Amino acid sequence: MAITEIRAGVPSDWFVDPVRLGVPGVRKQTITEDDDALAWQGDALCAQTDPEAFFPEKGGSTREAKKICTTCEVKAQCLEYALQNDERFGIWGGLSERERRKLRKQAS
């Protein structure tokens, strides 16, 4: 079958731009980490879920948030951001504030 035969049945607007749709993991090629230090947040799985899971009440479970973090492709950037900015609340990069504090002490 020739390419022209295949194209004849395909609408001209068949392509859907994943960047325009906001598909996680897909960014415009012109944006780099240097251009936008927080660009990684667009790929964060937490941005697609309930934010309350990442900021539980005192004594609340962090299990759900940490489970989401285990498969997140920007987990390392998230943790690095939290450590650099001394985030005091919430789950960042799969770690709670207590775990991040312990990590900082170990690094000192």
pLDDT for the residue numbered 36: 78
How many CB atoms are closer than 10 A to CB 41?
14
Annotated binding site: 46, 69, 72, 78
The first and second tokens of residue 60, run together, are: 């609340």
Q: Distance between CA 94 and CA 65 in Å, rounded?
A: 7
The first and second tokens of residue 39, run together, are: 């660009």
pLDDT for the residue numbered 20: 64
Q: How confident is the model at residue 51 (pLDDT cuts 50, 70, 90)?
A: confident
Annotated binding site for [4Fe-4S] cluster: 46, 69, 72, 78
Spatial CB neighbours of 45, under 8 Å, sequence gap ≥ 6: 24, 68, 69, 71, 72
pLDDT for the residue numbered 10: 54
